[in-house]
Structure formats: C-alpha cells, structure tokens
Amino acid sequence: MTELQITPVTDAGNEAQHAALLRLLTLLRTREYDFLAPTPASHARILARPDRQAGTTVADLLGWSIPCAPAEIPADIIVTLDAAGLLDRRPDGMVKAGVRVSALFGCLFAHSPYPTSAQDSVFLGPDSYRFADYISRTIAGLPQPARILDYGAGAGVGGIVAASLHGNATLTIADINPKALALAAVNATAAGIDHHTVQASSIAEVDGSFDLIVTHPPFMIDPGRRAYRDGGDLYGGRLSLDWTLAAIQKLAPGGRFVMHTGVSIVGGRDVLRDALREAMPAIGFSHDYRLLDPDIYGDELDTPAYSQVDCLAAIGLCVVRE
C-alpha cells in the first residue's frame, strides 16, 4: 500500500475509516502537530538524504511520508492509523502512513501521502497555503451567515479556512475526485465547519448561489493528465478561465469569487490575464487581478511541456458581483 484507499462518506461501510481519521486529527491537534507539505521537488530532495531513510517522529511518518520504526511513534497514532486502514506494515518491520497531514491557518488537513503520482491523489502544498493566505485578505465584510462554495476543493483548504475565519458559514465542498471529497469532509468536521459535499465535474452541476466562491484550479501543463494538476490548453490556463466565467454566474448579489492560480508567462505576456480581458462580462462585475509570486515551479521549465514558457507565476483574482 503506497496510497490511501478512502471513499466518500456516503458510501456504506466507510464510517469506521472516517471516524478513525477524525480521531487521528484530534490526536494530532492535542500534540500540536505542525507540518506543511513542501513542493514535490523539495520533498524529493529531503527524502534523498542518507539520514532521512528512516524516520523517528510523527512528522516524519505523517508529513514526510518516511518509513518509521513503530516503537518510535506514539502507540495511539499507530493504533488509529491501523483502524483507518492507513498503516502499511512492511516486511522489514517499518511502518508507512497511507495519508499525510498538513497544518494551515490553525486547521489540520489530511491529504495524499508523498509521492502524489496517482491520478486521484489529493493535493495540498505551498500553493494551498498561498491560496488560504489570499482568501484571508479578501473575505472581510461577507454577510452573516455566509454561503461558501469551494470548487475543486481537494483537501478543502480554501473553503475550510474561509469558513473558519468567517465564523458563521455553510460550506459546499465540490470536487471531481471522490477521494478528495472524503478527506475534505473529515477535515471540515475536524475544523467544526457546517458542510456538505458535491461530486461535480463542472460548476453548473452545483446547485444554489453563493456569497463567496473560492477556487484553486489545476493550472499545470501536465502530460500525465492528473486531475489535480492538468489545467488544459492556454498553457495550463483553460480551467482557470472557464471556472472563473462559470463561477461568477453563481454569485449572489454582492458575492465574491476568489481564485488562486498559476499562469504561464509566454513571450513576456500573462496568458490568463490576456484571455480574461477578452472574456470577462463588460458590466455587472468588478475585479482585481494581482501577482502573488512571480516565479513558482521553476523546475518545470526544464520539461518539454514548458519549452515555450518563460516562467510560471502565481496570481490572485477577486471578482465582485455588483
């Protein structure tokens, strides 16, 4: 077992696994667990170090995805992972966890272990932190209570951070990936957020209108077509454009759409910014588009898929329905 096997909360028979995962997050909160997943490239560098082949701490097991001797890890953590079916007991006596946990903005998030190579891996990384931070700077003044949608929620970082900072919200968690919905539901319960999940492959499939829609779409050019990475054409910007145009139609009057995404800079031009300029409705909405980081995932520029791209930048887009 290298990946967690977890299915939606609505599936019969998974209550025990979800309860065990919830217990794990509670145990970690009591222990003031602190780990935030780095980029896959940084993670690989750390795991290549000769002294990081066997772990000794809870963060080694549940953050770095390093095999550990069970005697080094508190027994309640081992028992709870086992109860969740997320403990891989290896022939050499070491154990590996089938889940990773990251801490952000005072909440704990279960997500996929490293490496996230499976098609249905549940993403969380430095982008999620940047996304949550951008949300924290854009949500003042929402109505009480607020209806929040996190579209393409993954482990639920955006919606859960927004709802917990706001303090009086109902959260709709939507994703194409049932494994993401299962983990996001556990994470939302652990954070005490009133929520429900929707499996959807387009925003039109989500019912209702919202005071806040947050999203962090896939934005990479990904020849592997992984759902959490592949942003489509426009050098990976297609989903960012399409989700923006679809989501703003779901905003209640005065509602806000907050997106974190990555954009390709090609020939000195921001491909997404140019496409949005053409496609955004001329009336009824105002928006703020800003650079959050001018240079992310520089290692991707070595790959053939990025041969025409000068760099990848992180941007924040906030659209308000007037």
Ligand X SMILES: C[S@@+](CC[C@H](N)C(=O)[O-])C[C@H]1O[C@@H](n2cnc3c(N)ncnc32)[C@H](O)[C@@H]1O
| Closer to ligand X by Cβ: residue 35 or 123 | 123
Calculate ∠ Cα 124-101-147, nearest 5°: 60
Decide if residue 173 touches ligand X (CB under 6 A).
no
Decide if residue 128 touches ligand X (CB under 6 A).
yes
Binding string, 142-171, against ligand X, x = CB under 6 A?
Answer: ----------xxxx-xx-------------
Decide if residue 96 touches ligand X (CB under 6 A).
no
Q: How near is the Cβ of 106 to ligand X at its closest, in Å?
A: 16
| Strand pairing category for 251-266 and 311-321 | antiparallel
Q: Judge whether 218 and 239 are in contact, CB under 8 Å.
A: yes
Q: How near is the Cβ of 133 to ligand X at its closest, in Å?
A: 11
Q: Give buried/exposed letters for 197-224 (b at 16+ CB in 10 A, else e).
A: bbebeebeebeeebbbbbbbbbbbbbee
Residue 165: Cβ-neighbour burial (10 angstroms; 0-12, 13-18, 19+): middle
The phi, psi pair for 116, rounded to 5°, reads: -90, 65
User: How many chain residues bind ligand X (CB under 6 A)?
Assistant: 21
Which CB contacts under 8 angstroms, 24+ apart, belong to 281-289? 281/248, 284/321, 284/322, 285/248, 285/319, 285/320, 285/321, 285/322, 286/319, 286/320, 286/322, 287/317, 287/318, 287/319, 287/320, 288/316, 288/317, 288/318, 289/315, 289/316, 289/317
| Closer to ligand X by Cβ: residue 109 or 306 | 109
Q: How near is the Cβ of 227 to ligand X at its closest, in Å?
A: 4
What is the phi-psi region of residue 75: left when phi exceeds 0, alpha when psi lies from -120 to 50, beta otherwise?
alpha
Residue whose Cβ sits closest to ligand X:
154
Binding string, 108-127, against ligand X, x = CB under 6 A?
Answer: ---------------xx---
- Name the amino acid, one letter, at 118: A
State which of residues 64, 228, 235, 306 lies at the interface with ligand X (CB under 6 A): 228
| Closer to ligand X by Cβ: residue 146 or 180 | 180
| Closer to ligand X by Cβ: residue 216 or 256 | 216
State which of residues 20, 180, 272, 313 lies at the interface with ligand X (CB under 6 A): 180
| Closer to ligand X by Cβ: residue 126 or 143 | 126
By CB under 6 A, the residues from 190 to 209 that bind ligand X are 200-201
Q: How near is the Cβ of 17 to ligand X at its closest, in Å?
A: 20
| Residues at the contact surface with ligand X, assessed by CB under 6 A | 123-124, 128, 131, 152-155, 157-158, 175-177, 180, 200-201, 216-218, 227-228
